[in-house]
A and B are shown apart, each in its own frame.
Chain A
């Protein structure tokens, strides 16, 4: 059974950092593109970042709103996806999901982890 389990969310102040993790199981993690998507009541779902199967930095992409502040990475030996979030802003407050890409869609999603940025 495919499972994606996010962790690392929490309450931080503006300007601080967090690292999200997504533990994958039930499939060959190293064969799939992986994504981070965030959800807020006001903006809905927004794609944050994605990374290619082998994790080369040349095949990563970021939303303009997080470029230069967030870094996506993966450890295929540990079947884990990461999102390093620096210089956090109030507007980064959201539930963050990791998701697997297959057949040109996001076919499996984690349960999400809440990030709250507030002073």
Chain B
């Protein structure tokens, strides 16, 4: 299973918005509404921010939103804050025998 494709980096000033894309295939992103997004700060475990394309777990700010069109999913962080600076990974279900496939990761910088 090949990794999903994400841009290596994205950035924005405090208060601005940033959108990260995640491109897969019809066998993963395009085939299931099971895309999730994870935030990982250096030296810390990943934390789920979005699941099932656009749902937010309890405690995740509504500044984080997700969407999907065809084989590409997106994560938007609105009203950027300093603590949003982290690596972000998308993930998609890829079939019962394949589990989850992750994206290549995007480093978000808050300028």
Contacts and interface: CB of A to CB of B under 8 A. Distances in A.
Interface of A: 35, 37, 39, 44-47, 50, 61, 63-64, 97, 101, 103-107, 109-112
B51 interface: yes
A112 B48 CA distance: 16
B41 to A, nearest CB: 12
Contacts of B32: 104
B45 A111 contact: yes
B48 A44 contact: no
A97 B46 CA distance: 9
Interface in B75-111: 87, 89, 91, 93, 97-105
A47 B99 contact: yes
A45 B45 contact: no
Nearest to A4: B45
Contacts of B104: 44
B34 A104 contact: yes
B100 A35 contact: yes
Interface SS of A by simple majority:
strand
Contact of A45 (B34, B55, B89): B89
Contacts of B101: 47
Given A44-B102, A61-B98, A103 B51 contact: yes
Contacts of B57: 107
A35 B99 contact: yes
A110 B47 CA distance: 10
A50 B97 CA distance: 9
B102 A46 contact: yes
Interface string B5-49: 000000000000000000000000000101010101000011110
